[in-house]
């Protein structure tokens, strides 16, 4: 049931008898909305900051679905040189049931000096910085898509040690981070956002949303329930240091340039690589490399090479980011091929190949 906001007008004028002057009518206050600024640029204008965000999903009783929780922490340096330290927790709760056992529950990134380091545990792997590790999760432009939907309720409020103005919102159109079908199925929204008086960056964001058409990977179909979204910025422009992880794999080549790469499942024969492959690292179960081939050319190259080596394709997935993930099977081995396009036409294609015994 949609909530209805009822405006109550108090009538306090009374005649005291006799003939008296008509009172001056009270002007109706004009709502003040959030400023029309680029909120992504407002955050980028800070030299440093720490961002913390979380998403809690509460499926309604009767759906058979469990609560899901995702949280993201980012320590960010914009100047003098861009660097990021990102931790994402709760990935398994958001994954499809068949993917949960293969999904790391904690994913860590460190981006510094033009390189990206990735870890799902205690071991770090150095890879080219192809994509933003935040993946748009903390995009402030999605939190305030239309300033006219946010109404001022308080000024000079101190949150997270920052003086801010508080705005409220209660409409589905303010939830740009949800899909259009989800927004159309929203039943009720209650939210607040606090904007720094100096700089207009988002200091805090809170939203509670009820709906009957939420769409997440862990559910095979849209479901009824509630989600809660939280976002905070701490320590704007405070000193912050981000350094590369020590002893990361890929920092030094593990084989001579002319030494062939041999992966499990290939019977001791060299693993097929594009002629221009630039290998970042390799083990008996993993190889990471860049190539000037397009993603389509890489896909065709391995369609031929793996088939000739006796592998059969078991699954394939195209992702919205343009990347591609293929699963191949051979006897007791499973091979996962991941192809990530460069951000521009001048950047190489990034390829990761992993081989493990089948479960």
Average pLDDT estimate for 93-110: 84
Question: Do the Cβ atoms of 175 and 189 come closer than 8 Å?
Answer: yes
Cα–Cα nearest to 162, from 193, 127, 130? 193
pLDDT in tens, 288-329: 889 999 999 999 999 999 999 999 999 898 876 778 999 999
pTM: predicted TM-score of the whole model, two decimal places: 0.67
pLDDT in tens, 239-270: 999 999 988 877 655 444 457 888 888 988 99
Kindly calculate the radius of gyration of the chain based on its CA atoms and give it in whole angstroms.
26
Tokens representing residue 47 in the block: 């030299």
Asked whether the bond before 92 is cis by omega within 30 degrees of 0, the reply is no
Q: Where are the beta strands (DSSP E) in the chain?
A: 48-59, 68-77, 83-89, 106-112, 115-119, 125-128, 151-159, 162-169, 186-196, 202-214, 223-234, 278-282, 286-291, 312-318, 324-330, 333-340, 349-357
Better pLDDT: 346 or 170: 170
Burial per residue of 63-101, b for 16 or more beta-carbon CB atoms within 10 angstroms, e otherwise:
eebeebebebbbbbbbeeeebbbbbbbbbbbbbeeeeee
Q: Which residues pair with 350 in a beta bridge?
A: 290, 340
The span from the CA of 193 to the CA of 290, in Å, is 42
pLDDT in tens, 27-74: 444 569 999 999 999 999 999 999 999 999 999 999 999 999 999 999
- Backbone dihedral region for residue 201 (phi beyond 0: left; psi -120 to 50: alpha; all else: beta): beta
Average pLDDT estimate for 92-106: 83
Burial per residue of 246-271, b for 16 or more beta-carbon CB atoms within 10 angstroms, e otherwise:
eebbbbeeeeeeeeebebbbbeeeeb
Find the farthest-apart pair of alpha carbons in the chain and give their distance in angstroms, rounded: 109
């Amino acid at each position: 049931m949609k909530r209805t906001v009822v405006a109550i007008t108090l009538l306090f004028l009374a005649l005291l008898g006799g003939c008296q002057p008509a009172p001056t009518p009270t002007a109706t206050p004009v709502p003040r909305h959030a400023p029309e600024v680029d909120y992504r640029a407002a955050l980028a204008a800070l030299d440093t900051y720490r961002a913390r965000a979380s998403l809690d999903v509460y499926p309604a009783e009767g759906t058979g679905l469990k609560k899901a929780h995702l949280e993201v922490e980012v320590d960010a340096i914009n100047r003098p040189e861009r660097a990021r330290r990102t931790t994402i927790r709760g990935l398994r709760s958001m994954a499809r049931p068949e993917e949960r056992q293969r999904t790391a529950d904690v994913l860590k990134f460190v981006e510094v000096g033009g390189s990206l380091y990735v870890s799902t545990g205690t071991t770090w792997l150095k890879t080219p910085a192809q994509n933003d590790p935040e993946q748009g999760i903390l995009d402030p432009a999605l939190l305030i898509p239309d300033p006219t939907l946010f109404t001022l309720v308080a000024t000079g409020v101190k949150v997270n040690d920052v003086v801010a103005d508080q705005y409220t919102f209660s409409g589905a159109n303010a939830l740009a981070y949800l899909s259009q079908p989800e927004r159309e199925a929203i039943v009720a929204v209650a939210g607040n956002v606090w904007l720094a008086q100096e700089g207009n960056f988002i200091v805090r964001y809170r939203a509670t949303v009820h709906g009957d058409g939420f769409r997440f990977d862990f559910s095979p179909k849209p479901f009824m329930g509630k989600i809660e979204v939280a976002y905070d910025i701490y320590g704007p422009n405070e000193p912050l240091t981000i350094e590369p992880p020590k002893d990361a794999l890929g920092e030094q080549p593990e084989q001579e340039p002319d030494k062939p790469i041999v992966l499990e499942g290939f019977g001791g024969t060299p693993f097929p690589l594009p002629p221009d492959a630039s290998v970042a690292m390799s083990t008996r179960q993993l190889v990471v490399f860049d190539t000037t081939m397009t993603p389509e050319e890489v896909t065709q190259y391995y369609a031929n090479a793996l088939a000739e080596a006796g592998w059969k394709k078991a699954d394939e997935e195209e992702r919205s980011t343009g990347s591609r993930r293929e699963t191949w099977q051979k006897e007791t081995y499973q091979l996962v091929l991941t192809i990530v396009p460069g951000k521009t036409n001048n950047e190489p294609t990034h390829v990761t190949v992993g081989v493990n015994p089948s479960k």
